[in-house]
Amino acid sequence: MVVQKRHKALPAKDQGEWVRGSTTARSRTPAPPMASATTSAPPSPPEDIDALLSTLRSHAPAVQQTTAEQRKRKLQRLADALLARRDAFCDALHADFRKAPVEVDLTEIKTVTKEIEHTIAHLEDWMQPDRVGSPLLFTGTRSAIHYEPKGVVLILSPWNYPVNLTLGPLVGAIAAGNCAVLKPSEHTPNTAAVLQDLLHDLFEEREIRVLTGGPDVAQSLTRQPFDHIYFTGSPAIGRKVMKAAAEHLASVTLELGGKSPAIVDDTADLDRAAGRIVWSKFTNAGQTCIAPDYVLVEAPVHDALVDRLRDRIHQFYGATPHAQRTSDDYARLVHEDHYRKVLDLFSGALDAGATVAVGGQHDAETNYVAPTVLTDVPLEAPIMQKEIFGPLLPVLPFQTLDEAFRIINARSAPLSLYLFTERESTVDRVLYQTTAGSTCVNEGFVHFVHPRLPFGGKGESGIGRAHGVRSFREFSNERSVLRRTYGSELLDTLYPPYGRLTSRVSDWVLRFF
């Protein structure tokens, strides 16, 4: 059932700041089984997309010429409106897959408002041309890099963090002065409807548009000549997006995923490691691209870590299967197909000889899979070959760091890598002998919300970077500008026809400049 709750009308698009909403967290009673939902707005037919893109492209030059102050006002209105509709987003995300209000606050709303706050604080500096020095050969010139918007951009967002991963990229697009089309996932229709309503109230349709619908709408959009496509999702779909973008030579940002490992050595604080791993893994029921996908733990502390993981799961979500199933703080898998995929990985691991150390309960009626820790998992099991994207955590012992490195490096570069150790030499070796989009030492997945750290992957886990100034630049064209202010005699001697003097000058240039 789609959430149809109505909200107080927001002020007109050109008015000032709005009153911030309440920040009080709410508790919920266990929800009944989730029904399949559809968006409140009908999907846009492909034949409307051509006209839409033409409208946005016609308006893009005006948006390009907006000042830093105008863009900051847009961003502030977005932040204020997001907070004002906090309850609506909590309701929608609970309806879509029972996401807890505190998780909505921390992982959806706060991440976006923090990104906006950082962007507003620095946007004037980012928009200024970057002066660059001139070599001796270019004496008499000034050079700079100017940042101009790419034009009309497409943001394709996923279902697992549908607010954060839709509005986060939009912050960068607005800051850089672009028009944008957003296509949220059809698997979180209630949230998509609230997003569509929110952005319709905030922006003119010739500047920002939200289109709903399924893969057919996404495919129709990617066939259009956008200036940039920002996609968050699986590597398989990322390849299709990149192929479609190549038809128009459009630039892309691909935020993908992969098997992000956690390494725990025998010097680690096991209580802290277990807390960070459980929190990072089972938030959003494991449906997080940077969640630890498996744990490699030094053999002497393997059993102790498993015990602490069990303790933390019980502490966070309840000490019994019934308590975990009825917890207000634990989400569900987003839909039946994803539930079946995760269960297939679970069954395959058991068939391959894995042992359930914690959890293992599941319920098809509500797409529920308990927080589950698996041991004795063979490396050749499917669960160790594919990204899990669910609440299953294999824990594997290793004897030496070289063995751990072989396991990690046999797979594609992960989006994130987590290391728990008190040995600085281990940190150095991990950073030198592995690769990843990002790495956290003795910490969980909070690096995602650090506005000064670029976020992104490598190869299979992604292309491009986001957050802070990197988002601004991802949506900007870096325009090189060289201006001569005086003198040009040396370069004048290099004009054809080439003779003896030209040869001497070019020899001199090669030797001394």
**Catalytic residue set:** 255, 289
**Measured between alpha carbons, how far is 289 from 238 in angstroms, rounded to an integer?**
14
Which element (helix H / strand E) includes 272?
helix 270-282
**Is-contact 149 476, C-beta < 8 A?**
yes
Query: φ, ψ for residue 283 (rounded to 5)?
Result: -55, 135
**What's the token pair of residue 60?**
């893009």
Which regions of 43-139 does DSSP assign to beta strands (E)?
130-132
HSE (CB half, 13 Å, CA atoms) of 128? Answer: 7
For the chain, the straight-line distance linking the first and the last C-alpha, in angstroms and rounded, comes to 71
SS (H, E, C) 176-245: HCCEEEEECCCCCHHHHHHHHHHHHHHCCCCCEEECCCCHHHHHHHHCCCCCEEEEECCHHHHHHHHHHH
Q: Specify the 3-state DSSP secondary structure of 350.
A: helix
Largest CA distance in the chain: 91
Question: Of 22, 2, 34, 30, which is closest to residue 329 (Cα–Cα)?
Answer: 30
| Token output for 78 | 């977005």
442: tokens are 């003795």
Closest CA to 417 of 474, 467, 356, 458: 458
Geometric angle at alpha carbon 109, from 104 and 114, rounded to 5°: 140
Sheet of 261-264: strands edge to edge? Answer: 355-358, 372-375, 392-398, 294-298, 261-264, 416-420, 438-441
